[in-house]
Structure 1
Amino acid sequence: MSSINQSSISEFLLLGLSRQPQQQQQLLFLLFLIMYLATVLGNLLIILAISTDSRLHTPMYFFLSNLSFVDVCFSSTTVPKVLAIYILGSQTISFSGCLTQLYFLCVSADMDNFLLAVMAYDRYVAICHPLDYTAKMTRQFCTLLVLGSWVVANLNCLLHILLIARLSFCGNNIIPHFFCDATPLLKLSCSDTHLNKLIIHTEGAVVMVAPFVCILVSYIYITYAVFRVSSLRGGGKAFSTCGSHLAVVCLFYGTIIAEYFNASSSHSAVRDMVGAVMYTVVTPMMNPFIYSLRNRDMKRAIRKVLTMRFLSKL
């Protein structure tokens, strides 16, 4: 019966952001297109600047280049389908396509989470143990941290996808969202979803909370180390290297906390939609600006890349 129920729904219908797309589709298409282009171009420019400037071949920028790559994947998982909805009217997505989108969205979110924790640890070692920084943050160790993050993220998301794939969908196929998310899918299922919800609230919560705790602990030690510095200038310089990372952490976790931990209200659907746009579209777009505008080395490397591209066209 499970296979019959599941095969009865071969595709889902994504409503998108607006319940009346005929009145707003052009504006939404233009807005999402601009944000998507800014996200892709900005993050690719960060990656190119880091790869071409030998002075940026350090652990901090290695992690940043990986974060930029993940942000491109994050935005590319959802925005192209949104553009298709509002320019082509293509609101349907196949069952397998829905699970694929959910899988890559989950992996991107987990990787953002893990990389922010890894970058916090990198800043902790650089500020609290500067003499041991080179010995601890070796190329092999940094690569292992990133690869380990990818492995854990993929295993975690694969578990969720396999649990959803075993469910039956035999009734309503309308998803009131602009991408396939776990919560709307579970609501549409006519199977018992207690195991899925249990895994989401236990294992899924641990995967999200553990890196956040690591970031908090790292910055507690960093703050303590900065206050111990006798020179105010030295302390301020040490802490300023964390400014961009802290801004990204606040933006990423702030949107997640605002969406998932706020009390329910009559406008919860609108609030959830705004929160989803923030962490899937706006945050990946803002990260390149945050890191480049507050970092002299990044601004110098980006100017070098842009100058080289301009001169090559002459």
Structure 2
Amino acid sequence: MDLFNSALGKNITFLRPAFFIISGFIGIPNINYYYAFLVFVYIISVLANTAVMAAIYLDHNLRTPKYIAVFNLALVDLLGNSAMVPKVLDIFLFNHPHISYNDCLTFLFFCYVFLSMQALNLVALSYDRVMAIVYPLHYQLKLTHKLMFSLIASFWVFVIIVVLIATGLLTRLSFCESVVIKSYFCDHGQIYRLACNDFTPSDITAWILPALILWLPLTIVLLSYLIIGYALAKVATVRERMKGFKTCTAHLSLVAIYFLPILITFTLRANIEPNARIINLSLTSVFPPMLNPIIYVLQTREIKESLKKFSKATI
């Protein structure tokens, strides 16, 4: 971050606090039950995502472009909940609300990177479904391992750069009064609004960031399903249409689980009580990484059979 500041201007002094105080869950009635639920979510998330990654890594039949994207999604889900849940529990369950300035920005960076990669990974999976349904005879030629690796790698680079810029801009803010972050983690919006100097660049970034890492991926996914729907409409029989659509059910479930809660929260945010909004937003962060691998195990025959095969081999 010092390199970021030196690139934008020299000899500038910013007033940085020694720590921030995260107060999101403080004062919410019966919140200990929610902490217990977070522990359960984290344990299931670790076990389920690890199982999916192990099945894909160990089963050579699953080393296809589609399952490269599924493996990356499981990895992102595992890392995302590992970055979020243990720290949230440490802050609130073990009463450590103070977090140092540098640790807070690091916490913010990793949380935003992994949450953003979940959305972009759904784009990679939607691209796989378009290729499989629109070009079934040329699927393996058009969607190669190299192409999928390149697509996912470009998403990682894009997300890291975007979030790094947003985080770097926060280091150019001075904090003269309150250091209390009214959220469950080091939230970008909550931090820059505490600044006592001009935070216009961060305010602009707060509008651009969701557009790039949330609404743009959602738009691409929706467009991909318009293409899929058009392709299936030209299929001769209803049975073939249903068969083609069935291959998309796992991906559609992931899209709904990730985007619907966010859309509802943003749509109704003016009418949602602040504590309820914090709980809802935290659920949208930690719940999809737990459900994603479960959905793929239940709805994808190849992973289900692979897990059964390895479980029998270990008994």
Tell me if both proteins adopt one fold, taking TM over 0.5 as the criterion.
yes
Deviations 1:247-286 (A, max 9, x none): 110111112212233351361x224313322221111111
Give the SS at the match of 2:149: helix
In structure 2, C-alpha distance between the alignment counterparts of 1:191 and 1:260, rounded to whole Å:
28
**Which of the numbers 18, 34, 42 marks the counterpart of 2:48?**
42
Give the superposition deviation at 1:98: 0.7
1:193 corresponds to: 199
In structure 2, C-alpha distance between the alignment counterparts of 1:235 and 1:164, rounded to whole Å:
50
Q: Residue type of the partner of 2:52?
A: I
Give the superposition deviation at 1:16: 4.1
In structure 1, C-alpha distance between the alignment counterparts of 2:70 and 2:129, rounded to whole Å:
12
**Which of the numbers 224, 249, 253 marks the counterpart of 1:247?**
253
Instruction: Confirm whether residue 10 of structure 1 aligns to residue 18 of structure 2.
Output: yes
Describe the shift of the 1:203–1:295 C-alpha distance in structure 2 as closer, same or farther (beyond 3 A). Answer: closer
Deviations 1:46-68 (A, max 9, x none): 11111111221111111011001
TM-score (norm 1): 0.91
In structure 2, C-alpha distance between the alignment counterparts of 1:308 and 1:170, rounded to whole Å:
61
In structure 2, C-alpha distance between the alignment counterparts of 1:239 and 1:297, rounded to whole Å:
17
In structure 2, C-alpha distance between the alignment counterparts of 1:155 and 1:36, rounded to whole Å:
28
2:230 corresponds to: 224
1:28 corresponds to: 34
Instruction: Confirm whether residue 290 of structure 1 aligns to residue 295 of structure 2.
Output: yes
**Which of the numbers 292, 305, 311 marks the counterpart of 1:306?**
311
Q: Residue type of the partner of 1:306?
A: S
2:130 corresponds to: 124
The more displaced of 142-151 and 131-140 is 131-140
TM-score (norm 2): 0.91
In structure 2, C-alpha distance between the alignment counterparts of 1:166 and 1:306, rounded to whole Å:
53
2:59 corresponds to: 53
2:282 corresponds to: 277
Q: Residue type of the partner of 1:308?
A: A
Q: Residue type of the partner of 2:285?
A: T
Is the 2:14–2:172 Cα contact (8 Å) retained in structure 1?
A: no
1:145 corresponds to: 151
In structure 2, C-alpha distance between the alignment counterparts of 1:191 and 1:2, rounded to whole Å:
13
In structure 1, C-alpha distance between the alignment counterparts of 2:41 and 2:272, rounded to whole Å:
29
Give the superposition deviation at 1:203: 5.1
Describe the shift of the 1:178–1:103 C-alpha distance in structure 2 as closer, same or farther (beyond 3 A). Answer: same
2:217 corresponds to: 211
Q: Residue type of the partner of 1:274?
A: I
**Which of the numbers 170, 175, 181 marks the counterpart of 1:169?**
175
Give the superposition deviation at 1:180: 0.6
In structure 1, C-alpha distance between the alignment counterparts of 2:179 and 2:280, rounded to whole Å:
23
Structure 2 regions of 5+ residues with no counterpart? Answer: 1-10
**Which of the numbers 94, 100, 108 marks the counterpart of 2:100?**
94
Is the 1:116–1:215 Cα contact (8 Å) retained in structure 2?
A: yes
Describe the shift of the 1:203–1:4 C-alpha distance in structure 2 as closer, same or farther (beyond 3 A). Answer: closer
Q: Residue type of the partner of 2:192?
A: L
> Over aligned residues, Cα RMSD in angstroms?
1.9
In structure 2, C-alpha distance between the alignment counterparts of 1:266 and 1:62, rounded to whole Å:
39
Give the superposition deviation at 1:31: 1.5
In structure 1, C-alpha distance between the alignment counterparts of 2:64 and 2:311, rounded to whole Å:
21
Is the 1:28–1:86 Cα contact (8 Å) retained in structure 2?
A: no
**Which of the numbers 149, 160, 171 marks the counterpart of 1:154?**
160
Is the 2:24–2:278 Cα contact (8 Å) retained in structure 1?
A: no
Describe the shift of the 1:83–1:263 C-alpha distance in structure 2 as closer, same or farther (beyond 3 A). Answer: closer
Q: Residue type of the partner of 1:58?
A: T
1:78 corresponds to: 84
Give the SS at the match of 2:99: strand
Describe the shift of the 1:203–1:87 C-alpha distance in structure 2 as closer, same or farther (beyond 3 A). Answer: closer
Give the superposition deviation at 1:300: 1.0
Is the 1:51–1:57 Cα contact (8 Å) retained in structure 2?
A: yes
Q: Residue type of the partner of 1:95?
A: Y
In structure 2, C-alpha distance between the alignment counterparts of 1:38 and 1:199, rounded to whole Å:
34
The more displaced of 229-238 and 139-148 is 229-238
Describe the shift of the 1:253–1:18 C-alpha distance in structure 2 as closer, same or farther (beyond 3 A). Answer: same
Instruction: Confirm whether residue 264 of structure 1 aligns to residue 274 of structure 2.
Output: no
Structure 1 outlier segments of 4+, above 3 Å: 1-4
Deviations 1:206-241 (A, max 9, x none): 342222221111101111111221122221111111
The percentage of aligned residue pairs carrying the same residue is: 30
